[in-house]
Structure 1
Amino acid sequence: MTAQQSAHAPEFTPQWLALREEADAAARSVELLGPLRAHLAARPPAGPLVIRDLGCGTGSMGRWLAGRLPGPQHWILHDRDPRLLARAAASVTGPAADGGEVTVRTDLGDITRLDPDLLAGTSLVTASALLDLLTAAEVDALAASCAAAGCPALLTISVTGRVELDPPGELDAELGAAFNDHQRRKVGGRRLLGPDAVPAAAAAFTARGAQVLVRPSPWRLAAAQGALIGQWLRGWVGAACEQRPELLPRARGYLERRLAECAAGALTVVVHHDDLLALPAAGASR
């Protein structure tokens, strides 16, 4: 993941990506894999599956998906951070679900500049926790490129704007609304979609004739995941206060109380996400 974001949210450090990987893996919708496998099985035989992972980070999507799809597979990992690319290339090793070989290469560059020519010959575009960091124009361009190339897209772990904390707290709703506004902020002139990303992507792919399936993929964080809850809490509260600084005096005490609950094993959190699968229209070019 390489889009810019608040200094309060550590999404792109290897440590944060490692901390969240288990929760991401547990959350992704396996229900979407059946239709995806069926679509890929119907493709004309033309060598290995070519899978492009956008904003690959340390490769968690490849580690999760490669073993759930038949092989052979050739993964092309896209990111703007060479350190993350190096980690990903070393760790997406397969084997595929049927024991097939998994090979990898990396592509250092801007993932928002994909075009149909680049996607020619691609069997699948995938990404994790990326869609909500794009703009409406970037999502539309991604849908257009996939449609022109006749390429399906599996886009997972996109925020919906809903979180549930148990026990509930008096600032939960205010902080949640401020955080959602922060997710929709402008960054370098780019207006991020945040919680609006999945509906925008569904509309963009549907407009181009794709079959779009959306399934929930919530993080369900229990006491045993206290380290992840604590990091998530700091980022969630910090981003909300960056968006609405007037919340800061009350948010300090709120965060202290929540972190104490977390340390005591007395706090659980559900962070809602959606996964989206877009299958190209029958007869689309490949």
Structure 2
Amino acid sequence: MSVVIPVSAEWLTLREDVDARSRSRALALRAAEMVRAPLTVHDLGSGTGSMMRWLAPLLPGPQTWVLHDWNRALLEQAAAQPARDGEGVLVSVRTNVDGLGRLRASALAGASLVTTSALLDVLAREEIEAMVRACVEAGAPALFGLSVTGGVEFEPADARDHAFQTAFNDHQRRSVHGRRLLGPDAAGVATDLFGTAGWSVRVAETPWVLDSEDRELVEEWMRGWVAAAVEQRPSLRKPAAEYAAMRAARIARGGLRVLVHHQDLLAWPP
């Protein structure tokens, strides 16, 4: 949701099915127990609306979704692909173009539930503080999904995996235009902030489990993962060429399985 971390509609579309099967259905159903229809759900960093399309069928209707993102083009695409609620009725959609650093409780007025997906790890601490503060002041439960936690597991493993993983995680924590990103620490920070506010928090491990059925996504993810590691640690540039070629060959043969660790959290007021 920050203009300095661009994301393409193509990447969001490519990952949507894997995101859907990875999110915690148990936490979503627990959130559904906390709300009463008619619902107003505010989705922060909506992108192309994948969270809405996954979650709306698990919630009672009627529903209104308010989609927040800095990228107007992505919001327009999301609004053009509305979801259906648990009764099969199309949800209503409104959009709001804004950045998280300016989020106030007033923007969440009337919210039944606040959601995010694949967002926290690309934010700075002050942005997450603003999100949590707005949720607490609005009094709406929060379901924050698919925050990267830093762990990556390959089958088969390679001795170089750890070096690239460490460099990538450092890249996730880099400073961008004066903002110090939290990367894999973000989910823990959000959990602590809600806890300090006196809210209850439940977390679930929600890894991507990728194999030969996800070849296109694995290839794209792998390119980005290695490139970010090399950008952070240029000394990896030379070994990266051989490493990436080895992994690409494994992917092409259907002989690679990857776990990319994420975490979902559900927070609710006392």
- Is the structural similarity TM-score above 0.5? yes
**CA RMSD after TM alignment:** 1.3
Aligned partners of 2:121 and 2:147 also within 8 Å: yes
TM alignment of 1:61-210, pairs within 5 A: 61-94=51-84, 96-210=85-199
Cα deviation 1:162-209 (Å, max 9, x = unaligned): 000111112100000000000000011000110001110000011111
2:35 is paired with a residue whose SS is helix
Shift of 1:55: 1.0
What is residue 24 of structure 1 aligned with on the other side?
19
1:220 is paired with a residue whose SS is strand
2:162 is paired with a residue whose SS is helix
For 1:190 and 1:158, locate their aligned partners in 2 and report how far apart those are by CA, in whole Å. Answer: 18
What is residue 10 of structure 2 aligned with on the other side?
15
What is residue 49 of structure 2 aligned with on the other side?
59
For 2:261 and 2:3, locate their aligned partners in 1 and report how far apart those are by CA, in whole Å. Answer: 21
1:127 is paired with a residue whose SS is strand
For 1:62 and 1:177, locate their aligned partners in 2 and report how far apart those are by CA, in whole Å. Answer: 33
For 2:2 and 2:129, locate their aligned partners in 1 and report how far apart those are by CA, in whole Å. Answer: 19
What is residue 49 of structure 1 aligned with on the other side?
39
Aligned partners of 2:174 and 2:180 also within 8 Å: yes
What is residue 274 of structure 1 aligned with on the other side?
263
2:68 is paired with a residue whose SS is strand
For 1:99 and 1:237, locate their aligned partners in 2 and report how far apart those are by CA, in whole Å. Answer: 42
Q: Do the aligned partners of residues 131 and 114 (structure 1) sit closer, same or farther apart at CA in structure 2, a change above 3 Å counting?
A: same
Paired residues, what number?
270
Shift of 1:139: 1.2
- What one-letter code is carried by the residue in structure 2 that aligns with 1:231? E
For 1:257 and 1:205, locate their aligned partners in 2 and report how far apart those are by CA, in whole Å. Answer: 43
For 1:228 and 1:127, locate their aligned partners in 2 and report how far apart those are by CA, in whole Å. Answer: 21
2:136 is paired with a residue whose SS is helix
- What one-letter code is carried by the residue in structure 2 that aligns with 1:36? A
Aligned partners of 2:3 and 2:71 also within 8 Å: no
Aligned partners of 1:54 and 1:77 also within 8 Å: yes
TM-score by length of 1: 0.91
Q: Percent identity?
A: 48
- Of 112-121 and 23-32, more deviation after overlay is shown by 112-121
For 2:27 and 2:87, locate their aligned partners in 1 and report how far apart those are by CA, in whole Å. Answer: 19
Please, which runs of 5 or more residues in structure 1 have no aligned partner? 6-10, 282-286
- What one-letter code is carried by the residue in structure 2 that aligns with 1:4? V
For 1:245 and 1:2, locate their aligned partners in 2 and report how far apart those are by CA, in whole Å. Answer: 26
TM-score by length of 2: 0.97
Whether 2:225 is the aligned partner of 1:236: answer: yes
- What one-letter code is carried by the residue in structure 2 that aligns with 1:77? L
Aligned partners of 1:3 and 1:133 also within 8 Å: no
Whether 2:20 is the aligned partner of 1:37: answer: no
For 1:68 and 1:35, locate their aligned partners in 2 and report how far apart those are by CA, in whole Å. Answer: 10
Please, which runs of 5 or more residues in structure 2 have no aligned partner? none
Q: Do the aligned partners of residues 168 and 3 (structure 1) sit closer, same or farther apart at CA in structure 2, a change above 3 Å counting?
A: farther
